[in-house]
A and B are shown apart, each in its own frame.
Chain A
């Protein structure tokens, strides 16, 4: 094993462990109840999931793509979308910080609000 290999190997292990720690930390932070919906980097909705009544509404992106967002029993999910990959629908309900619901083609993000309200 040359020195270069050792350095690379050590770097990979450190990065891997750091990533694992970050994933665990993020999945531990649950219990937030303010969800924000972002489109094109701007917040278009702020929703308090504890107080919100069950409803469905549609968000249209500037290029005409549509995502139907469903709020039910304090959870939020994308129930329908006309994007090609359907990642946003397959993500299911918003559970923790580490797994935002994102529709890349429509530039739509649903995530929990930051501590400082942003």
Chain B
């Protein structure tokens, strides 16, 4: 059982990393830094509803650290770490309140928290409140991206949950 869990988590981390790196190659969506789809979040949302808090935390942490290593963008690591951890903490708390059927809602709030964490780092690093000018835009982008990734994760979980009409294809 333990080995199986470990393998599942590693697979998820690897898949999230691949998606993360592919997404880096896409052009920026906006002149506001931090606006992106965050496709790797699909795996985080999925893990939040399928694994324990500790397991999800380990998965996200290794994804962020390895992501920084593979993209060789270490100046961004503080931003992604703060964002990812705040997002994860929020979603882990919310999973008790929000049932699996409303996963997308949890993901939206997670995305907004992610952007809030990045905002906090930006304000601290720049020693200026000017980055707050982006905050409304980041919140809107977070809502849209969070909804999208949340729905993606929702569909994955629905298909993998036994007893659902559409059973999972052989995994």
Contacts and interface: CB of A to CB of B under 8 A. Distances in A.
A83 B47 CA distance: 35
Contacts of A116: none
B81 interface: no
**Size band of the A side of the interface?**
35 or more
Contact of B131 (A11, A16, A92, A102): A102
A19 B31 contact: no
Contacts of B157: none
Interface string A23-59: 1001000000000001011000000000000000000
A13 to B, nearest CB: 9
A91 B63 CA distance: 29
A8 B136 contact: no
B33 A87 contact: yes
Interface of B: 28, 31-33, 73, 75, 94, 97-99, 102, 105-106, 108-109, 112, 122, 125-128, 130-131, 133-137, 139-140, 143
7 contacts: A2-B97, A11-B109, A15-B139, A87-B33, A104-B33, A109-B128, A109-B130
Interface of A: 1-2, 4-5, 8-9, 11-12, 15-16, 18-20, 22-23, 26, 38, 40-41, 84-85, 87, 90-92, 97-100, 102, 104-105, 107, 109, 111
